Structure 1
Amino acid sequence: AGSPQQIADFESAKLDALRAHSGPGLKIALDGHMGNNPGQTWDLPTALTVCRAIEPYDLLFFEEPLHYTDPWGYAELRRATPIPIAGGECLTTMYEWRVFAEQDSFDIGQPDAAFTGGLGEFMRVAALLAGKGRQIATHSWAAGGGFMQNLHCGFAAENTTVLEIAPAYGPLHREIIGDSFRMVDGQVLPPDCVGLGITLSEATKARFPFVPGSGEFNSVPGKVLVD
């Protein structure tokens, strides 16, 4: 919250701290999360002010600086900044993706197979963006099946630039995914498992009963669902 310049200064301070801690070699992507305020998303002037402030940091990309229903605003923002603009994790249909693709709204699209209708629809979205010369970065904030769907699709798509992986691998992930997800020296290896590579047993379902509204909390261990 605050004025556009105050918001820009806050984002710059975060990047200063990250760069000071990590050094010059780490590639950093910044998530605007549409403004990080459920009651007030960033408008285009605010997003532009933030972009101007963070351009010197040489970001890998800037994710969701605007509301996910504004393809025209994203297109205008893209034309106004050299920072690669990413988004699309909230889009659920091919129709929506076509609108954003027609407006050339993203440098990097972020489809999620769990949201867009499965592996086939993900691959169609990836092909649509590839035809526009655009890359994808998988959105994969899921606990098991969705996580592995996006992992498989990310390796299958020709225009994948990076795979998103939840920062903490919790007990639900371990039980469902097991050894199907492999990372060596910071590099994710292609899955070589049968099918998606998940196992959902009755015992696992009993240990992790479904709680309405808990989806994001299941995907990131350590979060707490508050009534």
Structure 2
Amino acid sequence: MKIGRIETFYVPPRWLFVRVESDEGAVGWGEASLEGHAEAVDGAFEALRDRFLGHDPYRIEDIWQVGYRGGFYRGGAVLMSALAGLDQALWDLKGKAVGLPAWEMLGGAVRDKVRAYAWIGGDRPHEIGEAARARREQGFSAVKMNATAELEWLAAPKSFDAVVERVEAAQAAGMDVGLDFHGRVHRPMAKQLAKVLEPLGLLFIEEPLLSENPEGLAGLAALVATPIALGERLYSRWDFKPFFESGAVDIIQPDLSHAGGILECRKIAAMAEAYDVAVAPHCPLGPLALAACLQLDACTPNVAIQEISLGIHYNVGHDLLEFVTNKEVLSPVDGYLPIPRGPGLGVLIDEAAVRAAHKGRHRWRNPVWRHADGSFAEW
């Protein structure tokens, strides 16, 4: 069997799907979505086609090694997202060809379902409370929300009161809460806000500082007991390595469509296990990305919880399951996502719908925010 075709599809609202077909007609799907940079990732597939058309699709490790190392320049969001989408599609193709889920080929299941959380928005406590109750009615018992709007280098501590009130509103609705700082808070404010939030018993604080500030994160980790989560902007095991070594992180959040795919994220998770660090895969993306995450969740002992982009926040009016025909495999039940039992990634894609959607070629871009003084603010 040889790889005969590698196709990419721009799928709204901001996804990039990958389809790999063998010369014998076996097909696999993956997701190489990199929000706001679909064109760049699509361009990276030109080199991947040159290297891997005619290659044995079962040799996933070899393809990954050549894809990562063969171009001399390696790593980064664009190249790793392209490699991630190809990796996912190869696991899907191989699994469907041999009749096994990807998790079965990776060592077998350690769980039958995984706890899931969904995002909620709102600026005021009553809005947060309503959103949390809506998620509870969907069956969730945990949510993630933004900690705050941008905080300047120096801000009055009284501005933290609103953050506490918003968290308490979600907790009053019966939800466990993870709080995403999104790297918006500079170090002088981050350490104060983290201490203020500590009594609330959060699931985690995510990106209290950007991962490009490892020294600051290590210092913050020494100050607070709340678990620190990060990793959506790290793209390989080598990127994660210094955070394990410094003890700066308690929960890692690799994105399986950004960090090299299933194979690489399985290795990242194994490294984390050696440091007693939990895994909570990042997934504000589409159905194939989520299906890939569930393959990792199934066979990885230190997975704690899974993000799911159910609703319109991430998907901008599009249904997560819009292009999936067996929708039940990605639907939460009583706060958990089931582990897909079907071969490959376990999802069935409506190819005709994907090809029709691709004709529109979305041009999604991250919004740009600014501080009150007009300077750029982190998204």
Whether 2:210 is the aligned partner of 1:210: answer no
Amino acid at match of 1:81: V
Shift of 1:24: 7.5
Shift of 1:200: 4.6
Question: 1:221 matched to which residue of 2?
Answer: none
Distance in 1 of aligned mates of 2:256 and 2:280: 12
Shift of 1:5: 4.4
SS of the residue aligned with 1:113?
coil
Q: Are the aligned partners of 1:87 and 1:110 in contact in 2 as well (CA < 8 Å)? A: yes
Count of residues in Structure 1 that have an aligned counterpart in Structure 2: 209
Q: Bigger CA drift: 12-21 or 139-148?
A: 12-21
1:142 to 275, 278, 285: 285
Amino acid at match of 1:210: R
Shift of 1:12: 4.1
Distance 1:112 1:11, change over 3 A: farther
Q: Are the aligned partners of 2:236 and 2:268 in contact in 1 as well (CA < 8 Å)? A: no
Instruction: Say which structure, 1 or 2, has more relative contact order (CA 8 Å, 6+ apart).
Output: 2
Shift of 1:172: 5.3
Q: Are the aligned partners of 1:180 and 1:198 in contact in 2 as well (CA < 8 Å)? A: no
SS of the residue aligned with 2:280?
strand
Distance in 2 of aligned mates of 1:160 and 1:12: 32
Whether 2:235 is the aligned partner of 1:92: answer yes
1:28 to 174, 177, 182: 177
Distance 1:147 1:24, change over 3 A: closer
TM-score (norm 2): 0.51
Q: Are the aligned partners of 2:329 and 2:338 in contact in 1 as well (CA < 8 Å)? A: no
Compute the RMSD of aligned alpha carbons.
2.4
2:322 to 158, 164, 174: 174
Structure 1 segments unaligned to the other structure (5+ residues): 36-41, 217-227
Distance 1:206 1:186, change over 3 A: same
Amino acid at match of 1:66: L
Residue correspondence of structure 1 range 178-189 to structure 2 within 5 A? 178-189=327-338
SS of the residue aligned with 1:211?
coil
Distance in 2 of aligned mates of 1:179 and 1:44: 43
| Structure with greater strand percent | 2
Identity of aligned residues (%): 26
Q: Are the aligned partners of 2:179 and 2:202 in contact in 1 as well (CA < 8 Å)? A: yes
Distance in 2 of aligned mates of 1:215 and 1:123: 29
Distance in 2 of aligned mates of 1:76 and 1:22: 28
TM-score (norm 1): 0.82
Q: Deviations over 1:13-39 (max 9, x none)?
A: 23323423542842111000101xxxx
Shift of 1:173: 2.9
| Structure with greater helix percent | 1
Amino acid at match of 1:171: D
Q: Are the aligned partners of 1:5 and 1:49 in contact in 2 as well (CA < 8 Å)? A: no
Shift of 1:161: 1.0
SS of the residue aligned with 2:305?
strand
SS of the residue aligned with 1:130?
helix
Question: 1:16 matched to which residue of 2?
Answer: 165
Q: Bigger CA drift: 137-146 or 198-207?
A: 198-207
Q: Are the aligned partners of 1:4 and 1:49 in contact in 2 as well (CA < 8 Å)? A: no
Question: Which structure has the bigger radius of gyration?
Answer: 2
Shift of 1:48: 0.2
